[in-house]
Amino acid sequence: MLCIEATANFALKYKKGRIRYREAESAFDQGYAKAIGMPIERIDFGEPLETVEDMFEDLQNVVEKSKGPELYICDSLDALSDRGEMARDMDKGSYGAEKAKLLSQLFRRLIRKMERKQVTCVIVSQVRDKIGVSFGRKTTRSGGKALDFYASQVAYLAHIGRLQRTIKGMKRATGIEVRAHMDKNKIALPFREAQFPVLFGYGVDDVTACLMYLKEAKLLKECGFVAEDITNSKLARELMSAPHDEAQKEIAYIHRRVQKHWYEVERKILPPRTKYGS
């Protein structure tokens, strides 16, 4: 879902930018992705990846030929093996050590070229539970420390609840509640969190997420909204079904209020001047 949102926003911002989506899990449904806003007609899906070496060769080729802003997505790292593992017997695994070494080499060679050519790379990775851990982080993922070191942003997404509605006496799951935590951020202040619903067949419900933020900031009444309409996402559903121009105007107003309050809080927590007064 994060990748679908990234491609949609990239397509809106860069009309001539290119999008490369490399799927390794054999679980991607183009029809469903298009229905919830993914700009399928502008995406180069290429050949499915099988190994980390395939990703390196493909990304290197994209970077060398790039002539402008490009978005490269690998979904996902955990589905990629390495050629050494593919040649070994099942009982002679390397426990992911070879993959970690390859990723470190890959980014050492490409990171500066990617910056010069304006190629943004998004790599999806699944979080797994550590066994027998009593302190520290209780989750891990494959690929070693190279991704954390070279990435400009590291976002952890957690499924924290299920959304349900009852219609005509029948209860149905309508989506999930997600919390995103910025574990690393080189382009803004780190360790920020956001909570938002993801609706099946629609995607990220940014309207409800923004309204919940305004409610938490006690700005809901000031903005002209009622708390009851947010709890059951009634207002969001009304905006989805409203004429496009009217809905966009209302949504833009909600976004502006959230951004204004967010940056006011951010500015107040910063020191009043730089350390050396420059």
> Is the bond into 81 cis (omega within 30 degrees of 0)?
no
Residue predicted with more confidence, 121 or 277: 121
Could you give the domains of the chain? 1-151 (3.40.50.300), 153-204 (no CATH), 205-278 (no CATH)
Average pLDDT estimate for 258-272: 91
pLDDT tens-digit map of 152-172: 999 999 999 999 988 889 999
Say how far apart CA 165 and CA 143 lie, in whole Å.
39
In the structure, what pLDDT confidence band is assigned to residue 93 with cuts at 50, 70 and 90?
A: low
Say how far apart CA 193 and CA 205 lie, in whole Å.
16
pLDDT tens-digit map of 34-47: 888 899 999 999 88
pLDDT at 277: 66
pLDDT at residue 59 above 90?
A: yes
Say how far apart CA 259 and CA 192 lie, in whole Å.
14
pLDDT at 141: 80
Average pLDDT estimate for 43-53: 90
pTM across the whole model = 0.88
Say how far apart CA 59 and CA 192 lie, in whole Å.
30
pLDDT at 96: 66
pLDDT tens-digit map of 177-209: 999 999 999 998 899 999 999 988 888 888 889
pLDDT at residue 95 above 60?
A: no
Select, from the ranges 57-61, 137-141, 202-206, the one with the highest average predicted confidence (pLDDT).
Answer: 57-61
Burial of 247 (0-12, 13-18, 19+ CB in 10 A): middle
The answer to whether residues 72 and 17 touch, using CB atoms and an 8 Å cutoff, is no
Angle (CA) 179-124-127 rounded to 5° is 60
pLDDT at 39: 92
Average pLDDT estimate for 17-26: 92
